[in-house]
Amino acid sequence: MADIVETNHNNPEEFYKSLKEKLESQHNFPEEYLFKFIVPGDSEKITEILRVFDGLKYTLSNRESSKGKYTSVSLQCFVMDADQVIDIYQKVAKIENVMML
């Protein structure tokens, strides 16, 4: 189950604290966690996302939109705890034009 992550939240510290509580109550870490992102039809953005996952065990799948303007990127990744999930989201949030689901 992926959680919706909003990076334009007024108080990011409070948002990530709340997200951590949700993750810990809804998941049994360590476990496989599904990260989902929407990127412009730009393979460079996918490469930037994959750099965040360097050194981690993951399975990747992507699907282009019907007109090719966007690509849905899903990564099933083994994570140790909620802090690791949040760290990944925070790193991906720095990549321009990537929507996190």
Q: How confident is the model over 14-38, as pLDDT tens digits?
A: 989 999 999 999 999 999 999 999 9
pLDDT of residue 42: 74
- Radius of gyration over alpha carbons of the chain, in Å? 13
Residue 3 has pLDDT above 70, yes or no: no
Provide the whole-model pTM.
0.85
Residue type at 12 in one-letter notation? P
Where in the chain are the domains?
A: 12-100
Whether the upstream peptide bond of residue 12 has omega within 30° of 0, thus cis, is no
Q: Are 60 and 14 in contact (CB under 8 A)?
A: no
Topology classification of domain 12-100: Alpha-Beta Plaits (3.30.70)
Q: Are 47 and 98 in contact (CB under 8 A)?
A: no
Q: Are 3 and 34 in contact (CB under 8 A)?
A: no
Mean pLDDT of the chain: 90
